A and B are shown apart, each in its own frame.
Chain A
Amino acid sequence: MYSQHSHIGLALLACLTSAPWAHAADTVDSLLQAADRYRSGPGKLQVDTQVTVFNRDGSPDKERRYTVFVQEQQRSLVLMRSPAEHGQKVLMLGDDFWLLLPGSQRPVRITPSQKLLGDASTGDIATMSWSQDYGGTVVGEEPCGDTPGTCLRLSLQAQRKGVTYQHIELWIGKTRKEPVKADLYVQSEKLAKQAIFLMDNAKAPTQVTDMVLRDRLSNHKETRVRYVSRQTRAVPDAWLNPMFLARNPSLE
């Protein structure tokens, strides 16, 4: 019996190691890079985002607009564009964060906990890449759920402390590697949000148009993050200096 089990185990191991997604970390990296291409595309970006929060009964709660400059080396600058938050800015340089409130013209250091942990945190909006921040393993193949087809399930752990979610369970399409859904866990290993990614074309997807976040921790509201536009945009290094937040350069 022991010998039979050992043979079955060896056979399974052989199958696993020969599966295209079962190699070492490089395979996970390449899968994440492939999935990232549907969210951010290559290079430095300016992303205009519209965030709509819905109550439990489906009625709209609030709407926010953001312009995000995503640069290499985990550097992002978020400009709040809605009337309620106009003038607010958040700068994220790796694990370091600064906030500028309108009127004060004084950038202040904030802790990772002070990042917006509300319906759509700054991290949800400003983070457009998993491959730079996460490593992990391929758990296996699973049905995608509400979306037809087969998915690869990836279990990801943060590789730096400044990310909003320390653990992500990510499902990507087996064929095209497009992101389908994700379970997002905070540091205490509590499920904070569930994300669903909507593509521009179901049969031949090229990019994510919407990310729907369902809160599972507190208010159980639904947040729809719509990527209104993406364009290549490299901003000067000076814009990513915390003290530069007090200046207000023209974005044209």
Chain B
Amino acid sequence: MHRTHVSHRWWARVAGAALLMASAHVHAAEFSGQWRLTHQAIDTNPQGPLAAAHALRSDLIDLPAAGTSVVEAELQAHWRFLQANVLLTSTTPHGMATHTQAQVQELFANADAGDWQFSIGRKVVSWDVGYGFRPNDVVQQETRRTLLAVTPQGRPLLQAETFDADTATSIVWVNPQSHQDAPPTLSGDEAALAVRWYQRSGARDDHLFARWGQHTRASLGAAVAWVATDELELHASARWSQRHLTWQPTGTAPAENPWHIGMGGSATQWLVGAHWTGAQQQGLMVEWWHDGTAMADRDWDHWRQRNTALQQAAAQPGLPDALRSGLAGQLAWQTTPLGGSSLRRNNVFVRASWQYEAWQLAWDTLYMPADHGQIGTVSAQWQADQWRLTLAWRRLGGPQQALTSALPSRHTWLFAAVWAF
């Protein structure tokens, strides 16, 4: 954590210096940005381990804030070979103090040498062809299916690329400063060398990927996107990994979170999808994917059995306070593995959208066949010259045994007003 704060301060200083340099040559620099005001409201889930923990010791275990208001200013500057993106955020959870922070989203320099182009700094490098899931997004590992699309924070990297008319090769050394012996909590945080080779073959794009991670070792992948007709695009992506990071219930101390990131064996991930767009700008996307890095069904069964055992223990009358606190903590920590990118290994995603003039309406649902859990989202967006307004509602549904029924929230509403300049 200390390292992270130091790193953030360093990045902020470098960003400030870069922006000062750019402002000295403001006539030649390009500036842009946006103000964002968002308010997110949550209906907490009355079921699930966090609700049970809160019922047991409401003075120790908090439920998610009912609402959070965020004001953000995202500033982008491009001057000659330098690019910067800085995010200033002021967050006010309902009934709590306001928290402000400045964060460098991107700050990198570009250089050319013959046929090769180089980048160094913090940068977003996104790969792969899917929408709801991207197994070969091995550098950025961007969070998918967010309610509001914003620029993610780039990763520290060195990048070398070469292009001709139809092919491109990218070599990325990501997180070169990371030399931890212990596995990171997120696979994207480890030092890794990644390579992508691209070829355009008429109406088809072919991609090959390779990655060597400090802890996760080798992985190989391939992806294809093909425009089959004027209206239909098909895409597929697959990846094999020698190792993967996964949640494991390894802890035994009663006052510690038993869930830790551990190293799993080999895993496969794949996705197939189709995207149809009509002449009236109506769209339909269907994707089906398998994420072998998500917890297996039998592991979730063990997780559920542990939930039941903890709740049965907590239901016994006359428990001493210390034991009640311990059980409440253990129940709350049961939500830890629910934060992964995929809950279940097999997923089906459907998205329908329609754009009419300044309006875009969208509906999507993520369905997990293993337990019939569903995450549905409805959104409406209005885009004017500089203003963009978004209203979105997400509902976590499914039967009581579904993992979606154990998540801390049930409904999420989001309103966002964005002013671009």
Decide if the interface of chain A is mainly helix, strand, loop or mixed: loop
Per-position contact with A for B272-302: 1 when CB-CB < 8 Å, else 0? 0001011111010000000000000000000
Whether B157 sits at the interface, judged by CB under 8 Å, is no
Per-position contact with B for A21-58: 1 when CB-CB < 8 Å, else 0? 00000000000000000000000000000000000000
Q: Is the CB of A62 within 8 A of B231?
A: no
Set of chain A residues within 8 Å of B168, measured between Cβ atoms:
241-244
Interface hub of A83, A109, A114 (most chain B Cβ within 10 A) = A109
Nearest Cβ distance between residue B283 and chain A, in whole angstroms? 8
Determine, out of A6-14, A95-103, A140-148, the stretch whose residues face the partner at the interface.
A95-103
Set of chain A residues within 8 Å of B151, measured between Cβ atoms:
102-103
Closest chain B residue to A238 by CB distance? B163
A84-B388, A242-B200, A243-B168 as given contacts; A110 in contact with B163, CB under 8 Å: no
Closest chain A residue to B166 by CB distance? A241
Other than the given A105-B123, A111-B231, A219-B357, 12 more pairs (CB < 8 A) read: A82-B385, A84-B385, A96-B200, A96-B227, A97-B227, A104-B142, A106-B128, A109-B205, A111-B277, A241-B200, A242-B205, A244-B163
Whether B212 sits at the interface, judged by CB under 8 Å, is no
Q: Is the CB of B357 within 8 A of A103?
A: no
Whether A189 sits at the interface, judged by CB under 8 Å, is no
Whether A63 sits at the interface, judged by CB under 8 Å, is yes
Set of chain A residues within 8 Å of B383, measured between Cβ atoms:
84
Q: Is the CB of A186 within 8 A of B279?
A: yes
Q: Is the CB of A117 within 8 A of B161?
A: no
Interface hub of A83, A97, A113, A250 (most chain B Cβ within 10 A) = A113
Closest chain A residue to B234 by CB distance? A109
Set of chain A residues within 8 Å of B205, measured between Cβ atoms:
109, 242
Nearest Cβ distance between residue B148 and chain A, in whole angstroms? 11
Once bound together, how far apart are the Cα atoms of A246 and B163, in whole Å?
12
Q: Is the CB of A63 within 8 A of B385?
A: yes
Interface positions of A from 118 to 159, Cβ below 8 Å from B: 118
- A-side residues, CB < 8 A to B, are 62-63, 82-84, 86-87, 93, 95-97, 101-106, 108-114, 117-118, 161, 186-188, 219, 237-238, 240-244, 246-250, 252
The 8 Å CB contact of B127, one of A87, A106, A186, is A106
Set of chain A residues within 8 Å of B81, measured between Cβ atoms:
250
Q: Is the CB of A109 within 8 A of B225?
A: yes
Nearest Cβ distance between residue B277 and chain A, in whole angstroms? 4
Nearest Cβ distance between residue A113 and chain B, in whole angstroms? 4
Once bound together, how far apart are the Cα atoms of A105 and B165, in whole Å?
19
Closest chain A residue to B162 by CB distance? A238
Q: Is the CB of A243 within 8 A of B198?
A: yes
Once bound together, how far apart are the Cα atoms of A238 and B275, in whole Å?
28
A63-B385, A247-B110 as given contacts; A108 in contact with B281, CB under 8 Å: no
Q: Is the CB of A83 within 8 A of B163?
A: no
Set of chain B residues within 8 Å of A244, measured between Cβ atoms:
163, 168
Nearest Cβ distance between residue B28 and chain A, in whole angstroms? 7
9 A-B residue pairs with Cβ-Cβ distance under 8 Å, sorted by A, are A63-B385, A83-B421, A96-B202, A103-B124, A111-B230, A242-B168, A247-B110, A247-B117, A250-B78
- B-side residues, CB < 8 A to A, are 28, 32, 34, 76, 78, 80-81, 83, 110, 117, 123-129, 140, 142, 149-152, 161, 163-168, 170, 198, 200, 202-203, 205, 225-227, 229-233, 235, 275, 277-281, 283, 357-358, 383-386, 388, 420-421
The 8 Å CB contact of A105, one of B124, B129, B227, B229, is B124
Q: Is the CB of B277 within 8 A of A113?
A: yes
Closest chain A residue to B233 by CB distance? A111
Q: Is the CB of B230 within 8 A of A161?
A: yes
Nearest Cβ distance between residue B31 and chain A, in whole angstroms? 10
Q: Is the CB of B202 within 8 A of A237?
A: no
Once bound together, how far apart are the Cα atoms of A237 and B200, in whole Å?
14
Nearest Cβ distance between residue A222 and chain B, in whole angstroms? 14
Q: Is the CB of B230 within 8 A of A241?
A: no
Set of chain A residues within 8 Å of B420, measured between Cβ atoms:
83-84, 86
Set of chain B residues within 8 Å of A108, measured between Cβ atoms:
129, 225
Once bound together, how far apart are the Cα atoms of A122 and B36, in whole Å?
28
Q: Is the CB of A111 within 8 A of B229?
A: yes
Set of chain B residues within 8 Å of A238, measured between Cβ atoms:
117, 163-164
Interface hub of B126, B128, B152, B358 (most chain A Cβ within 10 A) = B126
Once bound together, how far apart are the Cα atoms of A58 and B229, in whole Å?
38
Set of chain A residues within 8 Å of B34, measured between Cβ atoms:
83
Q: Is the CB of B126 within 8 A of A113?
A: no
A63-B385, A109-B225, A237-B164 as given contacts; A248 in contact with B129, CB under 8 Å: no
Once bound together, how far apart are the Cα atoms of A252 and B78, in whole Å?
12
Pairs of residues from A and B, 8 with the lowest C-beta to C-beta distance, nearest first = A106-B126, A103-B151, A238-B163, A83-B420, A243-B168, A241-B163, A113-B277, A109-B225
Once bound together, how far apart are the Cα atoms of A247 and B78, in whole Å?
12
